[in-house]
Amino acid sequence: MAVFTYRSAEFHYSDTGSGIAVVFLHGFLENQSMWKDLISAIPKKYRAITLDLPGHGQSHNLGYIHTMEDMAEVVKALMNELKLKKAFLAGHSMGGYVALAFAEKYPDFVRGIILQNSTARADSHTKKLDRDRAIALVKENPKSFVRKSIPNLFRPKNRITMREVVTWVKKEALKTSPQGIVAALEGMKIRPDREVLLHFAPYPVLFIAAQNDPILPFKTLESQLKAEKVTPCVTENGHMGHIEDSEKVCKSLLSFLAANT
């Protein structure tokens, strides 16, 4: 694992393979270790880059609110560090929000976007209230919040059949600093709607959605899956597609990369 500095904060990343770059952006309460199985299945002809986003994993915080635009600037700083002119951005959940924020500001640096268990829409009023409640819980007892949140990302039956994996994800999530958790929740709450990018972006988009996602109901994503620039992929399990539906997600990703390189 390597480190670079941005705004006096340290950010940890990994860089494997060579050729066309794919930058993987993890979700809320995750870190770059979430991608390990997917990365191991990607041919070395692709350059797979993973990053601990602000306040997650081993990366430092930037402030009390991490907007998606703040996180996108960290991604841009990493691309500058690696002298990357263009890359695919693959984002899971919050990582997808970051990918879209990056793509909106730096479209010329984007080969394509992969949204996995994510959405281009802003939070609804109800969701914003949920974020506020979550922030209050984190401030009261961050470890309890993490332990209760992680199982809810998985399809109910997988919480039992994949118990060991859920425990591992929980262990990794507990590495997230309380400030990082709150800063991300505040940032997600105020992110703007970017659905227009799915219709008019100058790059292709792979949109992976799950039929039994407990966080992002499939019904709320159907119109986005039909957007002009989108190649849809529907999986059958929960919010953690790169783990619960790893084979299908990997196959869809590789097909998308092959079709657009």
Say what the pLDDT of residue 1 is: 86
pLDDT tens digits, 67-112:
999 999 999 999 999 999 999 999 999 999 999 999 999 999 999 9
Tell me the C-alpha to C-alpha distance, in Å, between residue 236 and each of 30, 213, 233: 21, 8, 10
Among 30, 89, 88, 22, CA closest to 56: 30
CATH topology of domain 2-259: Rossmann fold (3.40.50)
Say what the pLDDT of residue 239 is: 98
Say what the pLDDT of residue 189 is: 98
pLDDT tens digits, 105-146:
999 999 999 999 999 999 999 999 999 999 999 999 999 999
CA quadruple 145, 146, 148, 153: dihedral, nearest 10: 130
pTM (2 decimals)? 0.97
CA atoms within 13 A on the CB side of 150: 25
- Which of the four pLDDT bands, split at 50, 70 and 90, describes residue 214? very high
Domain boundaries along the sequence of the chain: 2-259
Give the Cβ contact number of residue 236 at 10 Å: 12
Could you give the CA distance from residue 152 to residue 154 in angstroms, rounded to a whole number?
5
pLDDT tens digits, 195-211:
999 999 899 999 999 99
Cβ contact 76:106 at 8 Å = yes
Reported as type and span, the H/E element at residue 23 is strand 20-25
Among 72, 67, 59, 61, CA closest to 99: 72
Residue at 177: amino acid letter: S
